[in-house]
Structure formats: structure tokens, C-alpha cells
A and B are shown apart, each in its own frame.
Chain A
């Protein structure tokens, strides 16, 4: 917990992860160096199977690194988890179908032992934030996929985390809905100033949201390029029409192609 690393919301140094299985070993990550400043928005983009989820899962203490070091707010992931410093949004909404929307959002607080009244109040505020205040009594199956993902975001925000780890949260949505949720995420992030690690397959999404984009190649998974997105926040619908936006999209596409070319 040195003073220097305190400034990083997320940090990985020489991170490596090797999965051993009967079919042979897989080097999912190798020599990954990644630094996200507190309050920064880092997107990770790369070909399928390059280790993006593994990296995110290492930060969320769901995967043990084989080599290297990793920290969340200067702490070990397990410590950060114990201190409830991060929230995770999975690729699927991952809601519990027998619980109402409100009670899905209160879940983390219930686990933490927060009393019913204050957890309901917090959850209601989070639902306001994602624009689902009138759906608190619905069940997940009564919502569209986009609404379910917003509930998942509200749930991740309910513990007021300083770090948000999001694994392709909008991957299953159509482009219009995705654009809308991107805008919403920008608005929410503006209010929270959390550190965000965001995995995506969409180049435009990455450019629109991030302050920095890490491009990965696969086998072994490593970061091949870091691209700064120097478009000032707050970003809005017009951002997508800026010439810088197009230039960055082209640059990321090129980096992605090069990364894929490294993969055989």
C-alpha cells in the first residue's frame, strides 16, 4: 500500500495467468501491465478469447493470478473486495428471477447486513439513477434485456463502489439501445467519479466512453497498444459526430487488426 500506488484505481504489473486443464495449458494472460488512474475510464478491446474477462476476473478476485501483481485502490483484490470497493457488472444481467427489481438491487446491501429500510432507500435511489424508478416491483422477466442490464448496473452501484468492473455489459443489446445506455453510463459516471474498467467488442463504444483504450492480442493475452482518447468530458450525442471521434475509431480499428494479426 505505497503512497504512489494509491493514485491508481486499478493496477496490474507483469500479470500472468495460466489455466491448466486436461486438454493442455492455456496462457490466458502474459506480462500484462495496466494502470488506471482513480476516476479514469479504461476500455479493453481485443479478439475473442484473448483474456479480457480473465483480466477483469483477476481484479474482481474471482481468478487468482499465476504471476505478477495486481491491486485495486492500492489494495489486494481480496482486501478491496472485503472493503466493498468494487462493483461488478457481468456480461449477462445475472439477476435473481424470484426477486423483484428492487430486491435485486438490494442484494449486495443485504449480504453486507444493511438494514431493510436503508437498503430499500438506497436501491430506490439507484433505480432513479438508471431510470427504472417505476419498475421496482416488477420481476426481471418482465423487463427487456436493456432494462435488465440497467438493473444490474444499479445493483453494482448500490454499494457506492469506487471501482466498477464491467464485462461487456451491453454486448447483447442492439445498437440504438447500446448508444442510449452509453449516454446514460456517461451521465452516471459523471455523478460518481468512479474508476471504470470496461470490456467491449465495439470500437465506437470504447471510443465514446473511455479516457484510455487498451488493445489486447491473444495467445498469450497481452496488451499491444494503449490509446488515449483526448475528447473532453462530458460527452454527449454530438461527440459521435466529431472528426476526432472518427480518427480514433480508425486508429483503434487499425490497432485491433494488428493485434489480431499477431494471433495465429
Chain B
């Protein structure tokens, strides 16, 4: 989506005095972020334990963090390591999320561009898209499953549906905010619509599009899990969540483990997008420019 920063001339070995983007500086900034994230995780765990003490919950409803984590090492009825079992299902969910995210992004880029380009399309389509966003997907997911089956198609439809919206809005907004002078600049060189999309509009909009993509990435995981919840699905984190609900009374730790796994998957998705943005946009991903 952004071929902009590919650097036309890697052979020019002139020194770049841009100290803000030196490798060391970047690594240090990255390390700092990891540290902060780790600290927040520890804090969350501490709060959990504190809440447990304050509310006087028993170990059944609120198991200790370490108890929950130790459950990851247990064995399932299929004689499988529980972590491996979770990983397998997470992998299945991840695949579905990714497909939906890609399809939704493609649709979103096209729709967003058409909305920005044509007032007619924009005025007609935008309210529809916003209205469609109000449909509670969890409510209609079972109906979709009845209609499209429990296979990959349903998952893709639901995740696409969820990811399409943030990308569309971000793309449309981004392209609409290209300054008039930049358009005039390209016009004086007789740039075609396609060229100006490639050289000007998409690169200009890409920081916003990446923000939309981050939201979409989180939505895609939620969408895939929701698609797996209806009875009849065979694998995925949604299925594991469903079975863990059934056994919650006897083994609450299973549910917490799969919940943590879902969070982790979402985090992996969002962070991957952020990393992509970082490499594609450089300092612009930090909002330093524009």
C-alpha cells in the first residue's frame, strides 16, 4: 500500500544526519516499549491478585495467576499438551483472521478511494456503510452459520465485514485531506488519476490507513472468534471458549487460559501492523510529520 518509502536510491551513500532515526535510537525506543508493556502486564497480574484478596473470591472463580499459567502445562483428554492444543486452535483462528483482514483491507481501500474520489459515491455509500456497522454481528453470526455453514466462508465473511469499515473510513478521510496545492502540483505535470493515487494520495493517506489497519487487525481476531462460537464449528479459539464455558464449574482455569490466548493473538496482530507501519512510514508512523 505504500511503495513510497522504498528509497529510490539506496546506492547513494551520503550520510543522513537524521539522528532521530538512527538504528541505535530506534532499538532503544523499541526496548523501552517492550519494557513498558512488560511492566503493564505485571501490573495487571498484581491487580488481579489484589482484587482477589479484596473481594475474597475463592480459587475457583478467581484462580491465582500462577495456577492459571500452570494449567498451560497440563494434558488434554486427547493426551495433548494444553499449550500446544491452544496454539493449534489459535493458529486456525489466526489464519481465518488474516484472510478476512486481507479481503476487508482490499475492499476498504477500494471503497474508501471511491468515496474520496466521487462525491456521488461518497454521499450515497457512506450512510449505508455506517448503518451496516450498527448491525450487531454477534447476533447475526448464528444466522450466517446456518446460511453459509460452519466452514471458512462464514469466518471470512464476518471478519471481512468487521475489518472493512475502519479501512474504508481511514482511506476516505486520508485521501480527502490531501492538500489542494499537492493536487495542483501533480496536475501541472499532467498526472493521471492512477498516477496521482499511487504517488500522492495513498502515500499521503498511509499513516491514517495504518491507524485504520490497527483497529481492523484487532477486529479481525474478534470477528474470527465470534464466527467460531456457533455450535458446530470444529476448531479455533471460539470453539475452545465454548467448551471451556461448559467446564467452567469444574475447571475455570481453562477459560482463563483461552481468554489470555485470545488477547495474545489480538496483540500479535495489532503489533504486527504497528511494526509494518514503522518500517513503511519511518518517523511518520510516530506522527512526527504531518
Q: Residues on A close to B: CB < 8 A?
A: 60-62, 81-82, 84, 86-88, 90, 92, 94, 96-100, 102-103, 106-108, 110-112, 116, 120, 134, 136-139, 141-142, 159
Contacts and interface: CB of A to CB of B under 8 A. Distances in A.
The 8 A-B pairs with the shortest beta carbon distances in the complex, nearest first, are A111-B189, A111-B191, A108-B189, A88-B188, A94-B181, A97-B289, A137-B14, A137-B16
B281 interface: yes
B174 interface: no
Given A98-B289, A138-B16, 9 more contacts: A90-B184, A98-B5, A98-B282, A102-B12, A110-B199, A111-B186, A111-B199, A136-B12, A141-B289
Nearest to A112: B189
B136 interface: no
A141 B252 CA distance: 55
26 contacts: A61-B188, A62-B188, A81-B190, A86-B188, A88-B185, A88-B188, A90-B184, A94-B182, A94-B185, A96-B200, A96-B203, A98-B206, A98-B282, A98-B284, A98-B289, A102-B12, A107-B189, A107-B199, A112-B189, A112-B190, A120-B8, A136-B12, A137-B12, A137-B16, A138-B16, A138-B17
A139 B288 CA distance: 12
Given A90-B181, A111-B199, A138-B18, A102 B8 contact: yes
A98 B185 contact: no
Nearest to B185: A94
Nearest to A83: B190
Interface in B210-267: none
B184 A62 contact: yes
B187 interface: yes
Nearest to A159: B189
Measured as residues with beta carbon below 8 angstroms from the partner, the interface class of chain B is 20 to 34
Given A61-B188, A98-B5, A111 B18 contact: no
B4 interface: yes
B195 interface: yes
A102 B9 CA distance: 9
Interface string B78-109: 00000000000000000000000000000000
B47 to A, nearest CB: 41
A88 B4 CA distance: 23
Contacts of B206: 98
B134 interface: no
Nearest to A103: B8
A110 B203 CA distance: 15
Contacts of B5: 98
Nearest to B16: A137
Contacts of A106: 8
In this complex, the member of A62, A90, A96 whose beta carbon has the largest number of chain B beta carbons within 10 angstroms is: A96
Contacts of A112: 189-190
B135 interface: no
A251 to B, nearest CB: 34
A136 B186 CA distance: 21
Nearest to B187: A62
B249 to A, nearest CB: 56
Contacts of A96: 182, 200, 203-204
